[in-house]
């Protein structure tokens, strides 16, 4: 094949021509993937592009059909460094031809401009694990302020239970926590009736999910006493300085 131009004259062998076709197919496939990614980001940001690349995809031959890994084995007379130099020269040759094509074809230039636009952020979705944000330490509790534990009609029971135990300084039962909540949070009749069950659920979450509290029971009694996890030994025994005063 021979390309005639006033300023350019390039001759290709059949093997070189097929290699160039494969290179441009790969480039087009990568560009289409990037366009889809950028379009998805813009759509999430509330600025859809309405770009349909399906027509270009249909024209592409599946990579499994023609894309084969080419392994260049050095000849006896060639060393590994010479092979690396030749491979680098091939890549540079391909890039030069792509740049020349961009000067003649506006669509190729547009794709290259998009590819080199550093202002467009690219995200690696799911490939990197998000770093866990350190939880801010809670301020020291000196009193129970009802408004801190209410969100519209809901009560932040887990926060209240944890703060109340920390403020009291020794383990309490569910019934005791309920009676304290009725006074502290000014619960109405409906809220008071639901308080026991809500506190029991909050204690379960604090113990099972957050590992923030522990409990114990006195022999011969079915009543459980709940306290902060740091009040207990590794064996689950309550430290003496946190014993109930009665």
- Residue 131: per-residue pLDDT: 58
Give the DSSP H/E element, type plus range, for residue 152. none
Mean pLDDT of 10-22: 73
Exposure on the CB side of residue 214, measured as CA atoms within 13 A: 14
Within-domain flag for 134: no
- Residue 123: per-residue pLDDT: 46
Q: Residue 128 gets which letter from DSSP?
A: S
Mean pLDDT of 3-10: 58
133-163 pLDDT, tens digit each: 555 555 677 889 989 999 888 899 999 999 9
Q: Please indicate, yes or no, whether residues 176 and 235 belong to a single structural domain of this protein.
A: yes
Return the structure tokens found at 100.
Answer: 């020349």
Three state DSSP letters for 20-46: HHHHHHHHHHHHHHHHHHHHHHHHHCC
- Residue 153: per-residue pLDDT: 81
pTM of the predicted structure, to 2 decimals: 0.45
- Residue 220: per-residue pLDDT: 84
Within-domain flag for 132: no
Within-domain flag for 217: yes
At residue 116's C-alpha, the angle toward residues 110 and 119, to 5°, is: 105
**Distance, CA of 176 to CA of 196 (rounded, Å):** 10
**174-182: long-range contacts at Cβ-Cβ below 8 A with a sequence spacing of 24 or more?**
174/199, 174/200, 174/203, 174/224, 174/226, 177/226
Q: Please indicate, yes or no, whether residues 22 and 83 belong to a single structural domain of this protein.
A: yes
Q: Please indicate, yes or no, whether residues 85 and 14 belong to a single structural domain of this protein.
A: yes
**The domain boundary residue, chosen from 115, 138, 166:** 115
Q: Does residue 114 carry a pLDDT above 90?
A: no
Helical H segments across the chain, by residue range? 14-44, 54-59, 63-66, 80-104, 106-115, 157-168, 174-184, 189-208
Q: From 223, 147, 222, 215, select the one nearest 185 (Cα to Cα).
A: 147
Counting the structural domains of the chain, the total is 2
**Distance, CA of 227 to CA of 242 (rounded, Å):** 9
20-61 pLDDT, tens digit each: 777 887 888 888 888 888 888 877 777 777 777 676 665 555
Q: Please indicate, yes or no, whether residues 18 and 99 belong to a single structural domain of this protein.
A: yes
Q: Please indicate, yes or no, whether residues 152 and 237 belong to a single structural domain of this protein.
A: yes
Reading phi first (left if > 0) and then psi (alpha if -120 to 50, else beta), residue 75 is in: beta
Q: Does residue 121 carry a pLDDT above 70?
A: no
Within-domain flag for 125: no
Domain extent, residue 238, equals: 146-242
């Amino acid at each position: 094949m021979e390309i005639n131009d006033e300023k350019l004259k390039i001759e290709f062998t059949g093997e070189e021509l097929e290699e160039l076709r494969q290179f441009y197919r790969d480039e087009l496939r990568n560009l289409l993937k990037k366009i889809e990614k950028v379009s998805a980001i813009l759509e999430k940001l509330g600025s859809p592009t309405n770009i349909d690349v399906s027509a270009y995809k249909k024209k592409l031959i599946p990579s499994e059909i023609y894309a084969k890994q080419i392994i260049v084995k050095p000849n006896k007379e060639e060393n590994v460094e010479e092979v690396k130099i030749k491979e680098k020269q091939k890549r540079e040759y391909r890039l030069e031809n792509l740049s020349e094509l961009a000067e003649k074809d506006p669509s190729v230039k547009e794709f290259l401009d998009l590819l080199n636009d550093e202002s467009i952020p690219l995200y690696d979705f799911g490939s990197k694990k998000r770093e866990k944000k350190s939880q801010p330490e809670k301020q020291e509790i000196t009193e129970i302020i009802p408004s801190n534990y209410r969100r519209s009609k809901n009560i932040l029971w887990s926060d209240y239970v944890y703060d109340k135990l920390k403020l009291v300084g020794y383990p309490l039962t569910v019934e005791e926590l309920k009676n304290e909540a009725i006074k502290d949070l000014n619960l109405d009749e409906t809220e008071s009736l639901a308080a026991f069950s809500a506190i029991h659920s909050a204690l379960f979450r604090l113990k099972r999910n957050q590992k923030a509290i522990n409990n114990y029971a006195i022999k011969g009694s079915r009543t459980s006493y709940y306290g902060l996890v740091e009040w207990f030994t590794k064996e689950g025994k309550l430290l003496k300085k946190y014993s109930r005063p009665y």
